[in-house]
Structure 1
Amino acid sequence: MKVDRLTACIGAEVSGVSLGDASRDAGLFDDIKALLLQHRVLFFRDQDITRAEHVAFAHRFGDLEAHPVAGSDPAHPGLVQIYRSEAKNPYENNYHTDGLWRPNPSMGAVLRCIECPEVGGDTIWVNMVEAYRQLPDDIKKRIEGLRAKSSIEHSFGAVMDPEERRRLAAQHPEVEHPVVRTHPETGEKILYVASFTTHFVNYHTTENVRHGLDKTPGAGLLLNYLQSQASIPEYQVRFRWKPNSVAIWDNRSTQHYAVMDYWPAPRRMERAGIEGDVPY
């Protein structure tokens, strides 16, 4: 197994290994998981694996999750089919952490390319540990202990008719998470707000609010500033897809952005998302 770092901050390409073999070999899987904790996102080329092997490998990390909007393969529960061929889709071309709208957001994901455009359709991943580490000290002090709400309603629900959107919101009510979470395996601090985040819930205190302008506008400006950190190139790696390429990422410490510059060419991906823990 050979490991090539892709940037100084995040990402490595791994060669000389089959994820099909890793789905059956506990020792090989453990090696890959250790690399994932180190590099946060791993890339593999030429993985001609079956759907069953895809699901079996991802399941070694933990239970797989379904998605309330995206369709899944009926024969392989948890394998979400992200097929883009008929229209532009506004859900993924923003910096996000999968399932931030869940009480227990995704631990990670294994994404395989089935079909991709000749040019375009890259994905960007961001190291949110580094994004937190490089925040100014006064910002770190301001956000210490802050908590924020996240919601599926204003993203996936925005294109639904009102009744369907309200039903989605009732099934998946907004959740509250720390603005800075701790990685449960490495102990690292992570900046944990993304496009699903709507507002802070405990910002309006006497320490933060002097006048009315400090209240909602002040909180909104701070949230926008924190969300914008994911767009800093020094924290990023960008991957160009080919059929049978696979990306595995730690969803707790990263964000990602699917670049939508390829329509009307098709792009077909299959993702196994792994259930995570409750952030703290």
Structure 2
Amino acid sequence: MIKIEKLTACIGAELSGVSLGDASRDASLFAEIKALLLQHRVLFFRDQNISREEHVAFARKFGDLEDHPVAGSDPEHPGLVRIYRSDAKNPYENNFHTDGLWRPEPSMGAVLRCIECPETGGDTIWVNMVEAYRQLPEEIKHRIAGLRAKSSIEHSFGAAMDPDERRKLAAQNPDVEHPVVRTHPETGEKVLYVGSFTTHFVNFHTPENVRYGLDKTPGASLLLNYLQSQALIPEYQVRFRWKPNSIAVWDNRSTQHYAVMDYWPAPRKMERAGIIGERPY
């Protein structure tokens, strides 16, 4: 029987008494876990001594897995991305983001397993973006209703590349447009859907929003910065301390996350199976 411990009033639960290896082979057990995921948005599991094959099989119960154009996948397990921080400091995780927001069909979710972690530091924070939207002032909700925004991999991962590599990455992964407020396809909830991959609004410059010249670029930028800052509010967050064989499973459609970069130069090795999602609406 699964034991459920809520970690905050807003988001996150730790489940015990269950093996994700078993869940990869048991449809009813998987269905129970998926229902809990929709309820708590991110689930945590300790002491999951499972194989890579079981890791991938469990993630595939949610849907097909995706590769990453920069990180790549384990050659023997397509869709299993190795996020190994052992020989270089990498700044791309330590920001609030939704995985694959730069894709036409961003990730549905992910299953992340800790292989090796520092004794201190290296936590990950998740944020409930349904609650972030719900708590917005009504005038802001009215203002952003119908707004759409561009998201880009070029200005994040591409920024560290030489110009030719950056342009190639951008050509292979063109900027995409998504609603600023999306609807969760399974729960019907409204989700604030901008993060660190979001670059600008595409339909802000209307007579209603732009009365004078200064309203145009600064007005849009200030509003976007305000919306992005909602992920910083502690009341919407849960923070998880990793141990080897700990696993997090999250719903990428209703959350953002932030991998805290406070452990360098200690190693941190994680393996993530990302699940292909649907086009937001």
* TM category, shorter: over 0.9
Contact 1:110 1:273 in 2 (8 A): yes
Deviations 1:160-192 (A, max 9, x none): 000000000000000000000000000000000
Please report how far the alpha carbon of residue 71 of structure 1 lies from its aligned counterpart in structure 2 after TM superposition: 2.7
What does residue 19 of structure 1 align with?
Answer: 20
Identity across the alignment (%)? 85
What does residue 149 of structure 1 align with?
Answer: 150
What does residue 134 of structure 1 align with?
Answer: 135
Question: Equivalents in 2 of 1:129, 1:207: separation in Å?
Answer: 27
What does residue 107 of structure 1 align with?
Answer: 108
**Pairing of 1:30-41 with structure 2 (within 5 A):** 30-41=31-42
Tell me, yes or no, if structure 1 residue 119 matches structure 2 residue 120: yes
Question: Equivalents in 1 of 2:129, 2:89: separation in Å?
Answer: 28
Please report how far the alpha carbon of residue 88 of structure 1 lies from its aligned counterpart in structure 2 after TM superposition: 1.2
SS in 1 for 2:273: strand
Question: Equivalents in 2 of 1:157, 1:42: separation in Å?
Answer: 31
Question: Equivalents in 1 of 2:213, 2:38: separation in Å?
Answer: 43
Give the letter for the 1:68 counterpart. P
TM-score, with structure 2 as normaliser: 0.99
Question: Equivalents in 1 of 2:13, 2:72: separation in Å?
Answer: 29
SS in 2 for 1:227: helix
Give the letter for the 1:182 counterpart. T
Count of aligned positions? 280
What does residue 159 of structure 2 align with?
Answer: 158
**Pairing of 1:1-280 with structure 2 (within 5 A):** 1-280=2-281
Question: Equivalents in 2 of 1:72, 1:119: separation in Å?
Answer: 27
Gaps (5+ residues) in structure 2? none
Deviations 1:78-130 (A, max 9, x none): 00000001121111100000000000000000000000000000000000000
Question: Equivalents in 1 of 2:153, 2:14: separation in Å?
Answer: 32
SS in 2 for 1:215: helix
Q: CA RMSD in A?
A: 0.3
Gaps (5+ residues) in structure 1? none
Contact 1:71 1:82 in 2 (8 A): no
Question: Equivalents in 2 of 1:72, 1:117: separation in Å?
Answer: 23
Question: Equivalents in 1 of 2:9, 2:205: separation in Å?
Answer: 38
Question: Equivalents in 2 of 1:253, 1:231: separation in Å?
Answer: 15
TM-score, with structure 1 as normaliser: 1.00
SS in 2 for 1:228: helix
Give the letter for the 2:49 counterpart. D
Give the letter for the 1:199 counterpart. H
Question: Equivalents in 2 of 1:79, 1:124: separation in Å?
Answer: 21
Deviations 1:21-45 (A, max 9, x none): 0000000000000000000000000
Please report how far the alpha carbon of residue 158 of structure 1 lies from its aligned counterpart in structure 2 after TM superposition: 0.4
Question: Equivalents in 2 of 1:168, 1:212: separation in Å?
Answer: 34
Question: Equivalents in 2 of 1:140, 1:51: separation in Å?
Answer: 43
Question: Equivalents in 2 of 1:184, 1:71: separation in Å?
Answer: 28
